[in-house]
Amino acid sequence: MRESDLLSHIYQRSAGLAAAFGQVVVGPGDDCAVVRTPGGDEILLTTDQLVEGRHYEPGTPIDLIARKAIARSVSDIAAMGGTPTWSLATACLPRGYKHADELFDAMHHWARHWGCPLVGGDIAAFGDEASPVVLGVTVGGVMGTRWIEEWRDLPPEAGAGWREQPPKPVTRGGAVPGDSVFVTGSIGGSLASGKHLSFEPRLREGELCAWHGAGAMIDLSDGLGRDAGRVARASGVMIEIEAVKLPLGAPTLVWSQAIRHGEDYELLVAHGDRFLSDYIPALAAIGHVRALEPGEAPGVWVTDAYGQRHEVSQWGWDHE
């Protein structure tokens, strides 16, 4: 089984959910699902797992394990422009696990830190002391309003693009030709540097991009190449990236390594305002969106410093 193949199967089988069920606004295939309540409110929903030996090494401090377990799902909320409001957690723990109280106290702390307190969950025990810890975290949220007042402090020329009413959740499918492509921070080297355990979910940037009309966003967890490819396919466009503009996570990295590494937890943003990074400073412009040529499939091309072009939409992490 390859993760990408299974996900493709799930997306195809779920394609008609929104048409068949009126409460489903966005189904599988995005950073979050979106469901509509009987009162008309839209709720963001996401879930993610954290597996010892896969997402962190044995011996990692308990606080960092708990932090990452919560932060991964919070980052998905950020990718839709939302604010987290509550969370649920499940745990499958080895029999005789000695750190359960410490782990759940730390998860409680980090969930409150990001405004999504743990309101329930489930616990199971299995195997023996050598079995891995498996955590699952579900986070619910709403469209963000925490940082939007900052737009009042922006220059007048920036203010014209800001919405007066809360925006709709930003999906992967709204990039259009002419959009600029931005990333919120450094790419690559997250595992080696420890950033994957201590990253700050980009809630502020996601909210501000949504209120300023971002066309598409995605959380970069499987590598910039693979995740940008998901935006390109969902939007039916080609994404062009300039390697020299990529903010690399370490001076020793080369771009072709960095976009494969994954676990960056930055946001990739497609937006019609090429000056967006002037008033959301965390953003770095790295490329643009163009229309497909006849017979061309959606994808991602990187042009390197020597003018050579590379198709990279499958470069990244894939569970096998």
320 pLDDT tier (thresholds 50, 70, 90): low
* C-beta of residue 68 within 8 angstroms of C-beta of residue 82: no
CA atoms of 74 and 83, how far apart (whole Å): 8
CA atoms of 189 and 307, how far apart (whole Å): 25
319 pLDDT tier (thresholds 50, 70, 90): low
pLDDT at 20: 60
pLDDT at 24: 85
Summarize the confidence of residues 51-74 as an average pLDDT. Answer: 96
pLDDT at 151: 66
**Picking from 150-154, 272-276, 299-303, which range would have the lowest pLDDT averaged per residue?**
150-154
Q: Please report which residue ranges of the chain form alpha helices under DSSP H.
A: 3-13, 17-20, 62-79, 100-113, 156-159, 190-193, 195-198, 203-211, 224-235, 255-261, 276-279
Which candidate, 290, 277, 286, places its Cα nearest to that of 178? 290
Which candidate, 268, 159, 165, 144, places its Cα nearest to that of 207? 144
Summarize the confidence of residues 103-131 as an average pLDDT. Answer: 95
Tell how strand 284-290 and strand 216-220 pair up. unpaired
* C-beta of residue 187 within 8 angstroms of C-beta of residue 246: yes
Summarize the confidence of residues 201-217 as an average pLDDT. Answer: 95
Helix axes 62-79, 203-211, angle to 10 degrees: 0
Domain with CATH 3.90.650.10 in the chain: 148-311
Inform me whether the pLDDT recorded for 220 exceeds 80: yes
The class level of CATH for 148-311 reads alpha beta
pLDDT at 11: 63
CA atoms of 181 and 75, how far apart (whole Å): 19
* C-beta of residue 77 within 8 angstroms of C-beta of residue 83: yes
Which candidate, 287, 317, 315, places its Cα nearest to that of 303? 287
Inform me whether the pLDDT recorded for 202 exceeds 60: yes
Domain with CATH 3.30.1330.10 in the chain: 31-143
In order of 25, 104, 168, 251, the CA distances from 97 in angstroms are 40, 12, 43, 40
The class level of CATH for 31-143 reads alpha beta
- The model's pLDDT over 121-165, given as tens digits with 9 standing for 90+, comes to 999 999 888 899 999 999 999 998 888 776 666 665 655 566 767
Global pTM?
Answer: 0.92
Cα 12 to chain centroid, rounded: 21
Biggest alpha carbon–alpha carbon distance for the chain? 62
Three-state DSSP class for residue 270: strand
- The model's pLDDT over 64-98, given as tens digits with 9 standing for 90+, comes to 999 999 999 999 999 999 999 999 999 999 999 99
CA atoms of 286 and 163, how far apart (whole Å): 25
> Which residue has 């394609």 as its token pair?
15
State the DSSP string of 39-85. Answer: TS-EEEEEEEEEEBTTTB-TT--HHHHHHHHHHHHHHHHHHTTEEEE
- The model's pLDDT over 284-299, given as tens digits with 9 standing for 90+, comes to 999 999 999 999 999 9
Close Cβ partners of 31 (under 8 Å, ≥ 6 residues apart): 46, 76, 77, 79, 80, 172, 217, 218, 219
In order of 245, 248, 305, 307, the CA distances from 45 in angstroms are 33, 31, 40, 42
Cα 285 to chain centroid, rounded: 18
Summarize the confidence of residues 20-24 as an average pLDDT. Answer: 75
Summarize the confidence of residues 185-204 as an average pLDDT. Answer: 96
Which candidate, 261, 192, 179, places its Cα nearest to that of 227? 261
